[in-house]
Amino acid sequence: MASKKSPIFVREATGLVKSVSLLDAVSINVSDMSAGAALAVVGFTTILLPTMAGVNLVYASLIAFALLIPQVIIYTIMTQRFPRTGGDYVWVSRSLGGFLGNVLALSGYTIGNIPFASLIAMSAVFAIGSVGVSLGYQGMLSLALPGNVQGANPMSQFLVACVLLIILFAINIVRPKIAYKLISLFTAVGIFTIVLAIGVLLSAGQSGVANYINSLGISNLSYQSVASSYSGPSFDLTATMLFVPYFAFFTYPWVNAAPAVASEIKGKNVLKWNVPVSAILVMVLTTAAFGAMYAAGGMAFINGALVNATLVYDYSFNFWTLAMGVAGNPIVAWIIGIGWILWVINILAYLIVVEGRYLLAQAFDRFLPEKVAYVNRYGSPVIAHLIDLVIMLGLVAGASFLYGTFVSLYGTIVGPMIYFAFVGIAALVYAVRHEKGSSKALLAICGILSALVFLWLTSQFLINWTIWGGNWLSYDFILGTAIVGAIIYGISKAYHARKGLNISLAFKQIPPE
């Protein structure tokens, strides 16, 4: 630990407050894993697949979870070793060095993950529009459609996203404790509505799904015609593996939210259990939700519907809208719709909290300017939040007006995937240097396996770029942040050296709480 008189860090404490309970920690991780969004935008992705023949969403979910178990184990162990603001950034920079650790964190999460936050802001707008359409307000279709589809209104989508972002950032700046409680509340509502929607689908069964689809009155489209459009086995490993990266994009790797606010967590048991509890909970919810769709509608119909342009684009076909459609009760449909909207807004709420903590942590180590580490009297990293807000608004504008497509932000996922691969490598290095016995073996093996999994996922996102929104806007953003990170490190090191400070010393010590 650093001496109290050490000038290595910006100050002797972060200024953040220990106010995060087990419920808060699990909630922020559950919202991090974005199950609500994964169930909502699945059609926008499946419609880009070369075929849905043999793609089994339930098996894809289970395979993805199994592949990412090493990641869960790494974060469970390392969070207890490094319960600090910034989470994985701290142990990556301490294991791999300040230069590599900061460049990777900046391009892989601190700034590199902001496009995902922007995508979620757009998803919240789509959710609002889709719920309106599902409840009979066809005029809201302009909010529900991706910007490249005729009938969309990019300007309205941009403005609604801006309002959501500004409100959530304001809450985090003025009352961060309320921000955590809102995440917990929205998570509870989101989980309840997923369970409710699953129950509604199972209760409705095939006849309920058929009646709903046929009642839409779409010319030349019926439940039977959609079901008969699908031909293929119930499971094909190659086809299903092509869809596995979808779960990596939205759900199972994203267990880093609670670890990123670890210095604010109350109690050692919370540090120990928040990651596995949240990971298993999200796996059960996501897998059960897709399973309920298959059980109610039949695999042939669901797979056929998820590549039907009319249903996906004009009727926002997904888990949520299907449950609302078969509910048969307007109150139940409203509850499910509101739960869907709150779930997506909740993802955005967590992202705002966590992104600011990463910026604060990097500034605390003097990689970023000291002012970024400023915490106001309410315990909020104000400047860090404002930086995130400006970048998010810019990316939302870019997705809305320049590329005009929802998946234009998908391509930036390559940055976080590469970062997570190095998180595994850092865990391996830490295990070799500091661990002993069974924990050393477990952490080292998981580090190797996790790195291999994320390198494979990275290759899939690059090879199948037409599915995952690969474009030069995304790739240049990742490369640009890495270059900027390297330049910032060099400037910061030279600047502080002139003041008699060696910033590399910070990465040999654990930062204060």
Residue 294 located in a structural domain: yes
Other beta carbons within 10 angstroms of residue 459's beta carbon come to 13
Local structure of 265: helix, strand or coil: strand
CA–CA distance, 183 with 9 (Å, rounded to integer):
30
Whole-number pLDDT of residue 409: 61
Structural domains of the chain, count: 1
Query: How would you write the pLDDT of the chain (513 residues) with one tens digit per residue?
Result: 343 444 777 767 777 777 788 888 898 999 888 898 899 889 988 999 999 999 999 999 999 999 999 999 999 999 999 999 888 999 999 999 999 999 999 998 888 888 878 878 888 888 888 888 878 777 788 887 766 667 777 788 889 889 999 999 999 898 888 888 888 899 999 999 999 999 999 999 999 999 999 999 999 999 999 999 999 899 999 999 999 999 988 899 999 989 988 888 888 888 899 999 999 999 999 999 999 999 999 999 999 999 999 999 888 899 999 999 999 899 999 999 999 999 988 888 888 888 888 988 898 898 989 899 888 888 888 999 999 899 888 888 877 776 445 455 667 889 999 999 999 999 999 999 999 999 999 999 999 999 999 999 999 999 998 888 777 777 888 899 999 999 999 999 999 999 888 989 888 888 887
pLDDT at 475: 86
Residue 97 lies in a domain: no
* Residues forming a β-bridge with 20: 265
Domain presence at residue 242: yes
Token reading at 14: 């972060």
Residue 503 in 3-state DSSP?
helix
Cα(344)–Cα(124) distance, integer angstroms: 5
Asked if 263 and 16 touch (Cβ cutoff 8 Å), the reply is yes
The boundaries of the domain holding residue 338 are: 22-83+115-402
Is 48 among the domain residues? yes
pLDDT at residue 155, rounded to an integer: 84
Can you say how many angstroms the Cα of residue 484 is from the centroid of all Cα atoms in its chain?
24
Query: What confidence score (pLDDT) does residue 243 get?
Result: 96
pLDDT of residue 378: 82
Give the 3-state secondary structure of 74-141. HHHHHHHHCCCECCHHHHHHHHHCHHHHHHHHHHHHHCCCHHHHHHHHHHHHHHHHHHHHHCCCHHHH
Q: How far apart are CA 172 and CA 379, in angstroms?
A: 9
Task: Determine the pLDDT at residue 2.
Answer: 40
* pLDDT number for residue 3: 39
**CA neighbor of 78 nearest in space, from 452, 505, 429, 504:** 429
Is there a contact between 206 and 296 (Cβ–Cβ < 8 Å)? yes
Quote the DSSP letter at residue 20. B
For position 406, what pLDDT does the model report?
47
Q: How far apart are CA 198 and CA 319, in angstroms?
A: 9
Burial of 386 (0-12, 13-18, 19+ CB in 10 A): middle
Q: Which residue has the tokens 């910006």?
A: 10
CATH code of residue 42: 1.20.1740
Q: Which two tokens stand for residue 475?
A: 């790739």
Asked whether residue 398 is assigned to any structural domain, the reply reads yes
Residue 325 lies in a domain: yes
**φ/ψ (deg, to 5) at 202:** -65, -35
pLDDT given for residue 140 in this prediction = 83
| 485-495 residues labelled b (16+ CB within 10 A) or e (exposed) | bbebbeebbee
Which CA distances in Å does 150 have to 17, 41, 314?
48, 18, 10
Asked whether residue 328 is domain-assigned, the answer is yes
pLDDT value at position 284?
97
Closest Cα partner for 188 from 24, 9, 56? 24
Closest to 35 measured CA to CA, from 249, 335, 239: 249
Helix, strand, coil tally for the chain in percent (to 5): 75, 0, 25
Contact 40, 324 (CB under 8 A): no
- Structure confidence at residue 408 (pLDDT): 57
Identify whether 462 is part of a domain.
Answer: no
